[in-house]
Chain A
Amino acid sequence: MILVDIFTMAAVGAGMFFFLAGTVGLLRFPDTLSRLHALTKADNLGFGFIVLGLLPQSPDVLSGLKLVVVWLLVQLAAATAGQLIAQFVGLERRRDPAA
C-alpha cells in the first residue's frame, strides 16, 4: 500500500516537474514556435506522468479506463493543436512578415 503511494507521489511529482518545465518554456522562450514546442512536449509528458501516478489509486476499472482515455485524448489534442497553431503562426507570418 505504501509502495503504491510512493509510486503515485513520484509519478505525480515528475508530472508536476514537466508542467513546470512547460510553463517556464512558455514564459521564457523567445519566439512563438519554440514556446509551442516546449509547451506541447512538456504538457504531454506532464499529463502522462500524472495519469500514470493516479492509475493505481483509481477505485474501479472504469475510472482507470477513463484515466487512460483522458490521457489518449490529451495526446491527440496536443498533437493536433500544436500543428494547427504552428500552421497558424506560419500563416500570420506570411500575411504580415513584419510580425
Chain B
Amino acid sequence: MIDFLYGAAALLLLLTGLGLARMMWGPAPADRMMAAQLLGTGGGAIALLIATASGITAIIDIALVLALLAAFAAVALTLGEPGTKQPDGQANP
C-alpha cells in the first residue's frame, strides 16, 4: 500500500511536471498561470499522498496551506494591469 501511494505521488509529480511544458510554451499569461494552478492542486495531492504513505500527518497541513492559497496567484494576476484603469483612477499610458 505504502509503495503504491509513493508511486502514485511520483507519477502525479511527473504529470504536473509535464504541465510545466505549458508554462514554457504559453503563449498567453493565462496559459502559464494554468500550469502554476495545476502545480498548486497537484502539489497538494502529492502532499496528501506522501502524508498518508509516510504516516506524518503534519504533511496534510502543507496541502491545507497550498489549497488555501491555490487561487492566490490567479487573483494576483488580475491586479491592476497597465493600459487599464488604475485603482487611483489615473489611466496609464
Which residues of A pack against B, CB within 8 Å? 5, 8-9, 12-13, 15-16, 19-20, 22-23, 26-27, 32, 35-36, 39, 43, 46-47, 50-51, 54, 57-60, 62-63, 66-67, 69-71, 73-74, 76-78, 80-81, 84-85, 87-89, 91-92, 95, 99
Contact = CB atoms under 8 A, between A and B. Distances in A.
Contacts of B29: 88, 92
Contacts of B63: 70
By secondary structure, the B interface counts as helix
Nearest to B62: A70
A67 B60 contact: yes
B: interface residue count bin: 35 or more
A91 B8 CA distance: 38
B64 to A, nearest CB: 5
Given A23-B16, A91-B81, A43 B44 contact: no
Interface of B: 1, 4-5, 8, 11-12, 15-16, 18-19, 21-22, 27-31, 33-35, 37-38, 40-42, 44-45, 48-49, 51-52, 55, 57, 60-61, 63-64, 67-68, 70-71, 74-75, 77-78, 81, 83-84
